[in-house]
Amino acid sequence: MSNIEAVGLGALNTDHLYQVERILEDEEAVVNWAEPFAGGSAANTIYGLAKLGVNTGFIGAVGDDTEGKVSIQDLQKVGIDTSQIRVKSGARTGLVLCLSDRQGKRSLYVIPGANNLITIDDFSLTFVNRTRMLHISSFTDDRQFKVLRELMGKLDSSIKVSFAPGALYAAKGLKALTPILVRTYVLFINQNELRQLTGEDVIAGTEICLKHGCHMVAVTLGKGVRLELGKGVSHNIVTAVSYIRDADNEYAVEITSQHIKAEVDTTGAGDAFAAGFLYSLLKGKGLEECGRLGDIVARFSITRAGAREGLPSLAELTNRYRKLYSKQL
């Protein structure tokens, strides 16, 4: 496991994706297509990093079923160290039922399965403390939330933590998340989650997260949101698809013609953004480059169904970056 640069910790699921005409309350609609894919938020991000050539590992749990074998094999095929994934006897691998419509709306229903059985004794702290970056995402059960909070106190001070709370953890509120936020180097969150967590919109909500200890906050904004940036002579109004901020700087990825292209499936787009962002961060780049690469990887991901199928190789990312910005990555 030597030289592992990024380790992920989070749920491992099989995503059963159903694209429907529209999300319903109490009606009937046609399913356009349905297909299962290996998934899990942190696992998707680590998968994306591995495809870009980063040495990675993953910590999690699966059941002793066919889905569990497929989950592990899917990570292994891109070179991810799976030695810290535990197979729970008699348990079922986590499952997510995802309904998405043509307008980009989604409904997710989770059966956590083996994810609810992982404990802090299931993985090696030595394994975690040898990495440069630990990327964590949410579980459904409070026991695993306590594992994450406990882990924050056991990490080596040199390790950078990236955190994607998702809707489940955003709903817990700032007080509950503070033990993780104070240890978070970069927080990945979308606009709805940020509002749920802080009660504020993009700019004010980001400032609150920074005050609670995050070194950096990256907010994804879906199809685009109008933002007022800067003050005085630097004041500017933009329509942005993501907003990144640290204590001293802010950067918005503005919407362009590339964002208007047809989307096949937006599942995992935020996870893909995190993969591109973290790749840039691991290479020592600043806010602007991190935001650009996060956006490019996310745009790749939505061109194919499933959270991982569209993720780019390093050659593909490099070529797209050169075409968009007329310079080498």
3-class SS string, the chain: CCCCCEEEECCCEEEEEEEECCCCCCCCCCEEEEEEEEECHHHHHHHHHHHCCCCEEEEEEEECCHHHHHHHHHHHCCCCEEEEEEEECCCCCEEEEEEECCCCCEEEEEECHHHHHCCHHHCCHHHHHCCCEEEEECCCCHHHHHHHHHHHCCCCCCCEEEEECHHHHHCCCHHHHHHHHCCEEEEEEEHHHHHHHHCCCHHHHHHHHHHCCCCEEEEEEEEEEEEEECCHHHCEEEEEEEEEEECCCEEEEECCHHHHCCCCCCCCHHHHHHHHHHHHHHCCCCHHHHHHHHHHHHHHHCCCCCCCCCCCCHHHHHHHHHHHHCCCC
Question: How large is the average pLDDT for residues 180-205?
Answer: 97
pLDDT at 328: 87
Q: Is residue 10 included in any domain, yes or no?
A: yes
Question: How large is the average pLDDT for residues 198-212?
Answer: 97
Q: Is residue 1 included in any domain, yes or no?
A: no
Share of residues in the chain with pLDDT > 70 (%):
96
The answer, yes or no, to whether residue 167 has pLDDT greater than 60, is yes
Task: Tell me the C-alpha distance between 99 and 104, whole Å.
Answer: 10
The answer, yes or no, to whether residue 221 has pLDDT greater than 60, is yes
- Token pair in block for residue 213: 């200890």
Split at pLDDT 50, 70, 90, the class of 216 is very high
Question: How large is the average pLDDT for residues 225-232?
Answer: 81
Which of the two residues, 36 and 27, has the higher pLDDT score?
36
Q: Is residue 107 included in any domain, yes or no?
A: yes
Question: How large is the average pLDDT for residues 15-26?
Answer: 85
User: What CATH number is attached to the domain comprising 82?
Assistant: 3.40.1190.20
Return the top range by mean pLDDT from 83-92, 96-105, 297-306. 83-92
The answer, yes or no, to whether residue 103 has pLDDT greater than 80, is no
Domain that holds residue 280: 6-325
Tell me the pLDDT tens digit for each residue of 44-87.
999 999 999 999 999 999 999 999 999 999 999 999 999 999 99
The answer, yes or no, to whether residue 223 has pLDDT greater than 90, is no
Tell me the pLDDT tens digit for each residue of 246-274.
999 999 999 886 665 656 778 889 999 99
pLDDT at 233: 55
Mean pLDDT of the chain: 93
pLDDT at 32: 84
pLDDT at 1: 46
pLDDT at 266: 84
pLDDT at 204: 96
Number of domains in the chain: 1
The answer, yes or no, to whether residue 201 has pLDDT greater than 90, is yes
Q: Is residue 126 included in any domain, yes or no?
A: yes
Question: How large is the average pLDDT for residues 100-112?
Answer: 84
Residues in the chain: 329
pLDDT at 25: 78
